[in-house]
Amino acid sequence: VRTFNQQAAQFKNSVILCISGDLPFAHKRFCETEGVTNVISLSTFRSEQFGRKYGVTIKTGSRRGLLSRAIVVIDSNGIVRHTEQVPEIINEPDYQAVLKTIAAIS
C-alpha cells in the first residue's frame, strides 16, 4: 500500500484500492499513521464473498480464511490488464510490473 500510495499521484486517471479483511478502524489507523492518502481502503470484514469470488481466500494452514496478497489492474473499459497473486502472504508483489502496466494504460 505504501508503494502504491507514493506512486499514485503520477497516475491521474487511476483509482487504487486496498481491499483486506481488516476492520475498517484498523484501515483508518494504518492510513493515518502511514500517511496513506492516495489509496482507497476497503474492508471485507462483514462479507467473505469477495475472497471466494476472486479466488484470493487462503484455504489451508494457519492463515486459513485470510485474503492472500493479490494485484489486479483493470482498465477503464473493464478489461483486466495485469494480475498477480504472490505465493506467500509475506512476499511482495512485482511493483514495477504493476506500475509499468498502469503507465501503459493511463
Query: What's the predicted TM-score (pTM) here?
Result: 0.80
Kindly write down the DSSP assignment for every residue of 65-83, as one continuous string. Answer: TSBPPEEEEE-TTS-EEEE
In order of their start, the domains of the chain are 2-105 (3.40.30.10)
Residue 51 contacts residue 44 (beta carbons within 8 Å): yes
pLDDT of residue 14: 85
Q: Is the pLDDT of residue 52 over 90?
A: yes
- Residue 101 is predicted with a pLDDT of 93
**Identity of the amino acid at 17:** L
pLDDT, one tens digit per residue, over 8-31 is 878 878 889 999 999 999 999 999
Of 66, 93, 92, 67, whose CA–CA distance to 82 is shortest? 93
pLDDT of residue 24: 93
pLDDT surpasses 90 at 51? yes
In the three-class reduction of DSSP (H, G, I as helix; E, B as strand; rest coil), residue 42 is classed as: strand
